[in-house]
Amino acid sequence: MESHVTVDDITNRLPRPLVPEEQRVVETYIKDAEALILDAFSQCSKCLDDWLDAGEHRERIYALVVTDMVLAPVFMGVSRGMKQASSTTAHQTDSATWTDYAAMTSTWGGVVLTKRHLEMLGLNCKPLGMFNFPRPFRSPEVMPPWARQ
């Protein structure tokens, strides 16, 4: 599959040009973002190529999602997800607070496919359970009289 987003597309949205090392990182982020989207389509039993061929507006949506996924780690860098940061010059005291540490550790420094991105791509599928278990009984205090024995 050909890439719909290039390094130049990302660079045009940044306030400064990228150095060569950053360009290699952006290329990797683009590949990672496209792979995540392809996996999401596969999990929903849909074909990404067919979805893209259905209209030119879908190519723009796809490019917008990939660009958004790549710009977050590039533009924010190590500060992505940071809620608060403070620094003291005397005796060098630094501290930082992140929004959700558990979520940040698994995607530190990489691209993230959010629920908003999935909705933009029309991927609202949810995994279904294999069995339909009955609802559990509630506590006796709130059970209806006919269910008590």
Whose structure tokens read 């995994």?
127
Residues of the chain falling short of pLDDT 70: 1, 76-84, 96-109, 126-133, 136-145, 147-149
Cross-strand pairs, 96 = 85
Q: Rounded CA gap, 23 and 34, in Å?
A: 17
H helix runs in 54-129, sequence order: 56-76, 101-106, 115-120
Q: Is 50 left (phi over 0), alpha (psi -120 to 50) or beta?
A: alpha
pLDDT digits (tens, 9 = 90+) for 135-149: 766 665 666 667 666
